[in-house]
Amino acid sequence: MVSRDNDLVVLEAGREAWRHRLPAQVFTAPLVAGERVFVLAADRSISAFDAARGTTLWSLPGTGAPLVLRQAGVLLAVGDTLVAGVSGRLVGLNPDAGSVRWDAPLAVARGTNDVERLVELVGPVSRVKDSLCARAFQASVACADLAAGRVDWVQKSNGGSGISGDAATVVGSESNGKLVAWDRQSGKQLWVSERLRYRNLSAPLLLGRSVIVGDGSGTLHFLSQDDASPLNRVATDGSAIEAAPVVADDTLVVVTRAGGIFGFRPD
């Protein structure tokens, strides 16, 4: 974990093993893989540490952008490649040395000022085998082939939260509360739902036949994956659903802004 003081802290069996002071803030959860700890900082610098001893293995400098996004980015292991979101690009790195294996641009900075030109990939993402789909903040949703290191398709999308998907469909919520579904293979838009406009939606979750999304009042909505027609809805504690719903075993788990943690057992 990373503390408010920018300390990377590693615990083992409930006791602190080591800590390391980081030079920048971190909003993305550290990744533990291959006996190493990888950290993506807010300035999009990337560091690798030995998980047992805490020694620095390698470090890549940040992008030097004047503005950074205060939310989780993209950092995951795919086979023997470390995949990270750097500005509007998916970058495949050699985890042993930090060298770049491939670079797939999902969005390009545009605009006349720093705010308009802010482009970052945000989590959560949707990965199915070698296909990874992600959102570029307020710019686009795109899918890339991780084996080839190429972009398969890009669609304009004005949203600020991550996406979800399965082998056939990718779903995301827009900043104005619209839900949009795309075909994973072609990027063709499958449907658009405006039932929850202006409800301050969380990132969605595809689970079975349902699209599950939380809103600013703490309500969890279950919609049909086929056409976004309503299936069910449940209340929590009245505060906003803070993050994308997740599944642990057979339990659907959501966290609210007030600190509530709720588990549901979907039918």
Q: What is the DSSP letter of 136?
A: E
44 — pLDDT class (breaks 50, 70, 90): confident
* pLDDT at position 62: 82
**How many C-beta neighbours within 10 Å does residue 23 have?**
11
231 — pLDDT class (breaks 50, 70, 90): very high
Identify the CATH assignment for 163-267 out of 2.40.128.630, 3.60.15.10, 2.40.37.10, 1.20.1440.230: 2.40.128.630
Beta-bridge mates of residue 134: 142
CB 223 within 8 A of CB 211: yes
15 — pLDDT class (breaks 50, 70, 90): very high
* CA separation, residue 230 to residues 14, 113, 210 (Å): 43, 40, 9
| CA gap 239, 265 in Å, rounded | 21
Average pLDDT over residues 148-174: 93
pTM exceeds 0.85: yes
Supply 136's token pair. 């570029």
Average pLDDT over residues 188-214: 94
Instruction: Note the maximum CA span of the chain.
Output: 52
Query: 110 pLDDT exceeds 90?
Result: no
| CA gap 110, 267 in Å, rounded | 45
